[in-house]
Structures are given as C-alpha cells and as structure tokens.
Chain A
Amino acid sequence: MAQPVLEFRDVVKRFAAVSAVDGVNFSVQRGEIFTLLGPSGCGKTTTLRLVAGLEEPDGGEIHLDGKIVAAPQRGVFLPPEKRQLGMVFQSYAIWPHLTVFENVAFPLRVRRESADVIRLRVNHALESVGLGGFADRGATQLSGGQQQRVALARALVYEPAVLLLDEPLSNLDAKLREQMRFELRALQRKLMLTILYVTHDQTEAMTLSDRIAVVNRGRFEQVGSPEEVYEKPATPFAGEFLGRTVALDGALRKSGGAPSIELAGGGRIVLGGHLTDSLHDGAAVRLIARPEDIEILPPAELASNQIDATVEQVDYLGDRFEYYVRGAGAVFVLSSPKRDRYPVGAKVRVSFDPNAVTIHPR
C-alpha cells in the first residue's frame, strides 16, 4: 500500500471532560475522497480542525505527507500556516473587505509569489471553478453558490496536499447542491485532489466518497466504501445513519441446521452462516435490514423468512405508497409500488432477504 497522505494514530481531543475525538485511527490515500459522516456534535468537524491545526490534540499522532504535524506526547505541533492545506469552511469565510481576486490571491501573497504568477494562477483557479469574469467583484456581491466557488478556488490555488471541506454544500439550495456535488467530483478527478470531506448529508457522502467513515460520539463506527457501509453496516448506528433501517430484536438460535433468529414478537428468520460466527447460541441480537430489501405480500401461508403483519397507516407519495406496518412487536416503514394496494388494517406478510440483513449483539 502506498504511503498515506494523512494518517491519524489514536488521536484524542477533549473539550473540558468531553471527548470530542476519542482514540481515532484512519489514513487517507492520495487522490481519494474520504468522508467523515455523522450527526452534528459527533466530532467530525473537530477531526477536520485537528488536521488543519486549528485544534491541538490531547493525545496520539497526526501524520501529514510523511511528517508528524501533531504529537502532544512529543511536544510536536505544527501551526496551521505551516501545513500546506486547503480548507473550505461551512460559512465559506470569504473576506468581505477583499475582492474575489484578492481573496483567491491571498494564499499566494502569503507565499510571496510574483505579481505575474499570482495573476496567472488566480485566473486559472477562478476559471476552473467557473468564475472567470468575476475577479473584480466585491466578495459580498456574490450569491451563496458563487461564494462557495470562491472559497474552493482559494483553497485550490496553491495546490495543497489535502483539501479539507467542512460541510461545503450545506448552505446551498437543493438544486445548486446537486450541481456543485457533480462539479466537485469532476474537479477532484481532473486535478487528482486528496479530499477530506465532512458532512451530515448521507446523499453527499454516498455520491462523492471513495470511502466513508461513520462517526458517532467521537469514535469511528465504521470505515469503508459507500457500498460496504450501506450494505453491511458494522453497527446499528451506522445502519440507521446511512439510509432507513428496519430493526427487530430477537434471540440467536444455532442448534439444528442453519442459524436463525427467533424474533421477540414472534416469527423466525433463517440466516447465512458467516454473520453469526462470533456469537453464541441464545445471544440477544438485533437484526437490521433495509426497507427496500423487504417485500410486502398478500396474506397466505407463511414461507420461511416471513412474518405476519398489519397495516397501520398508508401514506400516498405520488410515485409509491409508504406503509406503517406492525409486525414482530415493532412498527416499521416500508414502501411499495403503486400496483400493490393494501388498506389500513389489512393483514399482510412481510418477507426478509436473508442475504441482505446484518446481525448485531444487543
């Protein structure tokens, strides 16, 4: 494996008694988009700020481009201006007293580049984010989307080792967000950028990332490709945060044939073998499945992996129906195409796909 551009080793950051980042390990490869995904207050922004040098860690080591940039045990801390990073803030942090050109030129002026180089590279950076004719505008005359592009151009203008993006799209409206997401991905491929991306938006995380880290309470719950994290959530939290889930509690049965789960509210799901290797017979477990992997069927004799259920509420969403279904002692939301219709109170069967569920100890 190539040497990572960025590496965290057991990094800890506390605010008062609270651990915002609690013993985190990860590494980011060159040319990769690595996303920190989690709810607000989970420590993802603090992680980003630790990379930038805007926070000092209380423990562990941070390596950037083969150098230690922060290691409190050894008394090492490189201030942010020495780290050669680019960062786009959630608020964009466009300096209101400078023009678009001067905003983007700032990093180059800090590096004492000549006027010619500055003009060339600023214009190039502005072109690449689609703001060619805007150089002389005042920064406050720009719309939100344009400010976001200026912030991006400013971060890119001196070719940083890693580009840090802190919820860069969250202040844009839905349509613009989609467009910027697409452009960001294209730009990243073209310039082979290494990006550390922070978001709480799962769609952004799924569509942009090479790898996702699901962050919760200062810990990384799971790191993997979008597909891995979605299909095989390592924890119930990871599953619930990334898309909808159906969670059912039960007890693991390993004796006699294939392992299965005896659901608390009645019913039985037979499982593939490898899922339960680390668990013993009779263990209390939680089954997590995606609603789209669950089928609603008309009432009939129960086949294996099916349970009885009752429709409690029906929502019409135009392209589909959403059913609030009570079964096995829980209520969960399933969607179903328009051709199948079940009224409120209807008895139905709910069918699980044993290859598309994950099992977690309770």
Chain B
Amino acid sequence: MSIPASTIDLPRPRFRLRPIRVAECSMLLLFTVLTGLPLLFLLTGSFNLAQPGRAAMYGFDNWLRAFSDPTTVSALWMSFLLSVARLVPAIIIGVMFAWLIARTDMPGGNAIEFFCWVAYFIPDFPLTLAWILLLDPNYGFLNSLARHLPFVDGPLFNPYSFWGIVWVHTSAGGIWFKVILLTPVFRRLGAALEEAARVAGASTATMLWRVTIPLLSPMILAVSVLSFIRGLQSFNTELLLGTPAGIYVYSTRIYDYIHREPSSYGEATALGSVFILTLGALLFLYWRFLRGKRQFTVVTGQGYSTLRVKLGKWRWVALAGCLFYIAVMTVLPLIFLIIGSFMRRYGFFNINSPFTLAHWRNLLTDPIFLLSLKNSLVIASITAAGGIVLYSTVAYLLVSRRTVAAPLLEGFCWLPHILPGILLGLGILWLFLATPLRFLFYGTVWGIALALMVSDSPVTTQAFRAGYLQLGPDLEEAARVTGASWWYTYRKILLPLLAPIAGAVGLMNFGGALTSISTPVLLYSHQSRPLAILLLEYSVTGELERGAALGLLITAMICAMMLVGRRLGLQLSGLQ
C-alpha cells in the first residue's frame, strides 16, 4: 500500500519561494515607498524645521507660523464654504436631470443622458478659461453686452469672486457626474415598489413624496457627501479665479507657500496635515454611512421600471429647460473658447480684421508646445500602461485568498483618496527631495507619471477587483490544472478577459493624466512640463487667446478619446 520509492526524489527543497508571496511583498514595498512615505513626510514634515533633504530639526514653529497667519484658517474655512455652496445647486440640478431622464416621459432623455456623459469629460480648466472670456470685468463678452442695458454702468458679472467660482463649478463636470451616477439608480428603483403605491391609491405626487424620494434619499445623500469631499479637493478653478481676488482655499494656499521665495515647505505641510486628517475623518464617516445603508440599495436593485410619470404638455417645458441649461452652461462657453482662440485681441470686435489664425499658428509651431505635447503623451502613456500593470496585479492579490496582507495592501490602495492632487504632489516632491529617488524622478516625466499613477490607485484597483470578482477563480484555476503556468494563464486567459476593463481604466487614466494640473504642478521642470501646466502658464501670464487654443486642443483630444472608447464598447461611466 505504501510507496517507499516516492520519498527518494523530492521535487523541491524545504524552503519554497512562492511567487504570490514575492508579488505581495514587492507590492507592499512599492506602496510603502510611493504612498506611505509621502504621507509620512506630509504628516511629520510639518514638525521638521529644516528644508527637505537637510538634517532634520524638530519643533512647532511651522504650525505656529502657519496658524498665526489668519489667511491659513480662512483658507480652510473658504474650502469648506465653497464646497457647500457649489454642492447645493449641483445636487438639485443633478437630481432634476436624473429624474427627468429616468422617470418621466420627457422626449430626448437618452440623447440628454449621452450629452451628460460627454460633458462630464470636458476638462474644467479650459471651461474656466472660457468663462473668463465671457465674464471678465474688462473684456468679458457678457459684460460688454450688459453695458447696453439700462441702469448698468459697470461690469455686471465678475468671475473673480466667490459666486464666480461657484458658477463655473456648476457648469463643470461635477453636475454631469451626479447625473451619470443618479440616472441608473432612478431607473433601477424597483417598479414594483412604485406600482404597489399606485395600486394602494397614491397619486403621482403622493407616490413621489412617500415612496420614491424616501427610497432614493440614501443614495442622493451618499452622492452629496462624495461630491462634497471631491469639492474640497478642487484646485484649478480656485487658482484661476480665486487668486486674483485674494480668495484662497487650502490647496491654492499650499501652492502659494511652495511657490514663494524661499519655499515654505513647513507651513505647507502643516496646512496639508490638518486637511489630510479632516478628509480622512470625513471619508471614514462616509464609509460607515454607506455600510449602514446597504440594505436600502438592495431594495432598489430589482428590475427596471417601465412606469414613467406623464408630464403632459409640461414635458416640452422640461426638455426646453434641460436644453437651455446645457446651452448656457456648456455650449456657450465652448463657443467662446473657439471664438477667443481666433481673435487678434480677445474682446475687441471693433478693430480692423479682428480674427486671425496667428494664435493657432504660434501655438502649433512653438517648440515649448511641441515639447509639452510630447511630455504629456509620454506621461499619459506611462501612467495608463503602468496603472494597468500595477493595479491589475494588486487587485489580483486582493481577491486571491492566498494573500496574507490583503487588508494592509487595500489600505495602501485607498490612501491616495485622502490625498488631493496638490498634497500628493507635495508628498512625492518631498520623497524625491529627501531620498536618492531624486536622481531618477525629480523634475522628470517619470516622476510626474509616478505621482499620477499613485493618485489613480483607488478607482483603478476597484475596477480591476470588480472584474476579477465577476470572472471568479474557476476560469483561472481551470487553466492551471490543464497545465498552464501562471504567466501563460495570465496572458491567454486573464488578460483577454480583462481587456475591456483594462482598456476603460487605461483611457480614463490617460485622459486624467492629460488634464491634471494639481498633481504635476509641484513636480514638473522646464524639461518635463506637460500641456496642462503650459495651459496654466498661458492663463497666468495673460495669453488668453493662445490658452483658449490650447484648451480647445486638450478638450478635443479628451472628447475624441472618450468617443473612441465608447465605440469600443468600454463601460467608462460605470467606473467612477
């Protein structure tokens, strides 16, 4: 019965290097360096009085200096105020759009939903630029028009103000993001639940008030909290519109600290630490809240509703309202961005031959532009490709039962969520300055790509994890049992099956890398300047016409990419 012969040839020695353990350890190491260390530097750097890279001296001076400055506290307060002020109109309009599209017989609902999806990807910086062209007190087109109205003496609108910032945000991606998120939820709300209310004798209004809204309120609240947190991380619009008016939020304040001569890293990190802790606490509460509400979302997940509210003749009014909002908030600024890029001097329609191709010609022949374009494409490609490789591996480790340190790894993946672009940039800048990594990464396209890759980690990892969970372990194990090595299985089975997800997140991250300003703004050098930073420079130095051309170019690149992605059948909207 026994097999003595088998004990002689042992296939392997006692100690075995399990590949999965190696992968796990290297990922943990990588995240420790790329996410853990920057965060640590941010949190401890505020107590370090020396410049990064020098011998450390510890003390509370940075905190004292930062918080004895009244503008620091007011910047934090302003971040909060702005986020709340833009949240309220955005939620109301977002819910209206979603309800009209999903639950009423308003004509053209699908077309409007598609538009929301496109509008979501229009980068916010060119849009801000467009609103400057429209609303600037000196040459803004709408202000010029308004001067012809009776009783108007000075400029009617001023974008460089609190409400100017709120207004521009109301036209940017945030609103469309809410529509994209809420429409499917409205649609999925179990038809039976509403039909039951109808059968029980409820009118449309009663049904909405007593059944629909209470059922959807947890989801609306969740989207609100998420939007609020995202609002706190905003940078571009605040920089462009707030700084000229002396309105600082914490992110532009940090930018300001670093761009001073000499840079005040200590104060910047003190401010950053406060913010990280606040954001961490908020996200924790959000997560707790979502967990508690899970049973609610289950209720809404059954079957599609065919029951639509009949608006009667009001459906045309509703459609007109939606179209008007879209026309004013998106189409109008884009048109003026186009006009602006062709005007000799923006706002001066009365001079001889006001239109010119010079800005486009100058832009496209500018060696700085060409270098920046190359940089941007390199950065975006590295970010997208690196993200796919890195986070598909991490997600694999997270779903595998063999992984020992999955919770730790998952924690690392979520960390960038509490690091807005500007703070991540600051942390990584610190990492480069304080470690030998600077020789490889400081001021290079690789450094910027690395930072962008880190910031992509939560969403990308989640997307891949969802993909793996959907596939299940059987398809992979079946390949292993038939004799395929892990690497062969990965190439022939997992990769082809995950290709749609990889393509979608790749495109998203590519687009994100093209438009991101806050992450690279502290990391670039003249040699590695990307397009978005060039756009920032044009805007700050007042070359609005050339900026408009560049902004359009970036917008066109993003839109083309997203349309190609949709043609390829990638589920882009479902990822966020």
- In the complex with contacts A81-B483, A81-B485, A106-B482, A89-B3 CB distance below 8 A: no
- In the complex with contacts A74-B10, A96-B497, A80-B474 CB distance below 8 A: no
In angstroms, how far is the closest chain A Cβ from the Cβ of B491? 11
A97 and B11 within 8 A (CB)? no
| B484 touches A (CB below 8 Å) | yes
| 0 or 1 for each of A212-240: is its CB under 8 Å from B? (1 = yes) | 00000000000000000000000000000
Identify which of A79, A91, A95 contacts B497 (C-beta below 8 A): A95
Residues of B within 8 A of A75 (CB): 12-16
A66 vs B7: C-alpha distance in the bound complex, in angstroms? 9
A91 and B474 within 8 A (CB)? yes
Residues of B within 8 A of A97 (CB): 496-497
Residues of A within 8 A of B1 (CB): 1, 4, 27
B474 and A93 within 8 A (CB)? yes
In angstroms, how far is the closest chain B Cβ from the Cβ of A353? 36
In angstroms, how far is the closest chain B Cβ from the Cβ of A58? 13
- Nearest-neighbor residue (CB-CB) of B471 within chain A: A96
In angstroms, how far is the closest chain A Cβ from the Cβ of B414? 24
B3 and A107 within 8 A (CB)? no
Among A1, A80, A89, A154: residue with most chain B CB under 10 A? A80
A80 vs B478: C-alpha distance in the bound complex, in angstroms? 10
| B488 touches A (CB below 8 Å) | yes
B12 and A93 within 8 A (CB)? no
Residues of B within 8 A of A81 (CB): 480-486
A66 and B474 within 8 A (CB)? no
| 0 or 1 for each of A69-95: is its CB under 8 Å from B? (1 = yes) | 100001111111111111101110101
A to B contact number (C-beta, < 8 Å): 96
- Nearest-neighbor residue (CB-CB) of B493 within chain A: A95
In angstroms, how far is the closest chain A Cβ from the Cβ of B32? 27
A187 vs B78: C-alpha distance in the bound complex, in angstroms? 76
- Nearest-neighbor residue (CB-CB) of A157 within chain B: B482
- Counting from the closest, the 4 A-B pairs by CB-CB distance are A75-B14, A93-B478, A93-B474, A107-B482
Residues of A within 8 A of B486 (CB): 81
| A28 touches B (CB below 8 Å) | no
Interface size on A, residues (CB 8 A): 43
In angstroms, how far is the closest chain B Cβ from the Cβ of A92? 8
| 0 or 1 for each of B438-482: is its CB under 8 Å from A? (1 = yes) | 000000000000000000000000000000000010110111111
Q: 19 A–B contact pairs at CB < 8 A? A: A1-B1, A27-B1, A52-B477, A53-B481, A54-B477, A69-B11, A76-B11, A77-B12, A80-B481, A81-B484, A81-B486, A85-B481, A86-B481, A91-B474, A95-B478, A96-B497, A106-B479, A106-B482, A106-B484
In angstroms, how far is the closest chain B Cβ from the Cβ of A33? 19
A82 vs B12: C-alpha distance in the bound complex, in angstroms? 13
Identify which of A7, A52, A63 contacts B481 (C-beta below 8 A): A52
Identify which of A77, A84, A151, A155 contacts B16 (C-beta below 8 A): A77
A222 vs B33: C-alpha distance in the bound complex, in angstroms? 55
Instruction: Tell me which residues from 123 to 156 in chain A have a Cβ below 8 Å from any Cβ of chain B.
Output: 151, 154-155
Residues of B within 8 A of A7 (CB): 3
A93 vs B482: C-alpha distance in the bound complex, in angstroms? 12
- In the complex with contacts A67-B9, A74-B10, A75-B14, A3-B480 CB distance below 8 A: no
A87 vs B472: C-alpha distance in the bound complex, in angstroms? 16
- In the complex with contacts A1-B1, A54-B477, A63-B482 CB distance below 8 A: no
Residues of B within 8 A of A346 (CB): none
In angstroms, how far is the closest chain A Cβ from the Cβ of B6? 5
Identify which of A68, A76, A151, A158 contacts B483 (C-beta below 8 A): A158
Identify which of B7, B475, B496 contacts A93 (C-beta below 8 A): B475
A110 vs B485: C-alpha distance in the bound complex, in angstroms? 8
A95 vs B482: C-alpha distance in the bound complex, in angstroms? 13
| B5 touches A (CB below 8 Å) | yes
Residues of A within 8 A of B12 (CB): 75-77
Instruction: Tell me which residues from 1 to 59 in chain B have a Cβ below 8 Å from any Cβ of chain A.
Output: 1, 3, 5-7, 9-16
